[in-house]
Amino acid sequence: MQFADTKECEEFLCQLLGGDKEPLVREAVNTLKLRSSWYEPKLYRDVLPIIKLNKFLRQKGVYSIRLLNSLGGKVGNWVVLSLNYNAKALKKRAFQLYKGRIQIKDFYDEEKLKKQLLDSIANNDLIEANNLLALLYTKNPWFFKKKDNFELGLNLAEINLEKDELYQANRWYQCLIKEEPDNPLLYLGLGNIYMLSGDLEVAFYYFFTGLDLNPGHLLLCYNTCLLLQSVGEVDLAIEEVEEALKINPQSPFFHKLAGDLKLAEKSRLEEVLEHYKIAVFAMTANEPQELLIQLLNNYSLALAENDDLDVAEKMLHEALNLDENREDTLLNLSAFYGFYKHQNDLAIEYANRVLKTNLDSGKAYHNLGLGYLAKGNWGKARWYLYKAKKLLPQDYMPLNNALVDLRSKRPRS
């Protein structure tokens, strides 16, 4: 609905919502003018700051109100209303107020709505996309039974999850799982939602259920293992990845994951090296480069722990050749030359290369501090280590140990 000016727009909303008979109307309209939008608070985060205003609009049957300066390329004062199915009185009132000047869309054309939905996704209008899918699903409860519709719903669920719209993501995953109760991507998405919201018990339920239905599924196993590791259940995580290896014995991904999980225990270093070795030889051209770079980095550190420094050095440089600006590779090279080879100039050089692309890398400042401390330059070491202290977590033990070492080597005046 387009209006000549903001005053006309404001008056329309006041009259539509009840006029002077409703004590909350003016307050609601003034708040809308400031915020430019209101959406059903159970579904969206953009809510009016006062609970009673939210309740007032919901009771009127309003799903959303948007105040726009332009619509469809036309500049003006626009009001875009989305009303619930039970808002018949509000629709009638809108016609009475501005009959002939507005259009209320009350029809159902599935293909046209699907096109609008695709356009909304392409334009990153997540609110409109969720509204349209809700309409499609409400009008047709069998909507997701069609394969391309299911894929459309899954895509929107994943976009919501990526944008941290956890309520909406959960809503679509729960609808989709009714149609495909064995689909691993649905359990992965639901597990991620509850992991992000901090409900780890439910997250584990979805991850483990998904794995029971899809043994050896790569992403389900990976997320389950990371979550187990985060709560200190490393042994259970290792059991999960070893079960996955029984199904996929030549998977470079699972061998790398097994090596990563066991790397924390020095007593299992031989197992770690064997896993990484198998992973390297199992790599194919179809595997993502990211996996190869991570594998080379981790394998090199395990080799260095095993005193095989020449091969470790070669692997780190192979990883660097694949991506010369990658931060973790440069940090590993800096640590390798500083800690294992005692070549402090090279350690400093690679740490400085990190800062060329990331001035806020606390680990780079930490490595620089260690390098200068080893060279006997206490002043520079102090500057870099305290710079690292501002950027790294307080419980980062390598830095805390370095600061203790720094204080013990402070020059005597």
The overall average pLDDT reported for the chain is: 88
| Residue that has been written with the tokens 């440089």 in this structure | 317
Query: What pLDDT score does 41 carry?
Result: 60
Burial of 166 by CB count in 10 Å (0-12 exposed, 13-18 middle, 19+ buried)?
Answer: middle
Give the residue among 162, 156, 170, 192 at the shortest CA–CA distance from 43: 170
Query: What pLDDT score does 104 carry?
Result: 44
Burial of 277 by CB count in 10 Å (0-12 exposed, 13-18 middle, 19+ buried)?
Answer: middle
- φ, ψ (nearest 5 deg) of residue 249: -65, -15
Is the predicted pLDDT of residue 44 greater than 60, yes or no?
no
Question: What residues contact 231, with CB distance under 8 A and at least 6 apart?
Answer: 200
Q: Where does the pLDDT of residue 86 fall: very low under 50, low under 70, confident under 90, or very high at 90 and above?
A: low
Arithmetic mean of pLDDT, 191-214: 95
Q: Does the predicted TM-score (pTM) go above 0.75?
A: no
Express each pLDDT in 124-170 by its tens digit. Answer: 889 889 988 988 888 788 899 999 999 999 999 999 999 999 999 99
Across 57-66, 197-206, 308-317, 381-390, least confident range: 57-66
Question: What residues contact 13, with CB distance under 8 A and at least 6 apart?
Answer: 29, 32, 65, 79
- φ, ψ (nearest 5 deg) of residue 71: -150, 125
Is the predicted pLDDT of residue 50 greater than 90, yes or no?
no
Query: What pLDDT score does 16 carry?
Result: 79
Instruction: Give CA angle at 222 (217, 223), nearest 5°.
Output: 110
Is the predicted pLDDT of residue 406 greater than 70, yes or no?
yes
Integer CA distances (angstroms), 142 to 136, 137, 146, 155, 176, in order: 10, 7, 8, 18, 11
Query: What pLDDT score does 38 carry?
Result: 67
Is the predicted pLDDT of residue 230 greater than 60, yes or no?
yes
The structure tokens listed for 87 are: 């808002």
| Residues 254 and 223 sit within 8 Å (Cβ to Cβ) | no
In whole angstroms, give the CA distance from residue 153 to residue 171: 10
Residue type, 82: S
In whole angstroms, give the CA distance from residue 392 to residue 408: 21
Is the predicted pLDDT of residue 413 greater than 70, yes or no?
no
Is the predicted pLDDT of residue 67 greater than 70, yes or no?
yes
Query: What pLDDT score does 47 carry?
Result: 47
Query: What pLDDT score does 105 carry?
Result: 47
Which contiguous run of DSSP H or E holds residue 306?
Answer: none
Is the predicted pLDDT of residue 103 greater than 70, yes or no?
no
In whole angstroms, give the CA distance from residue 408 to residue 413: 14
First to last CA, the chain: 79
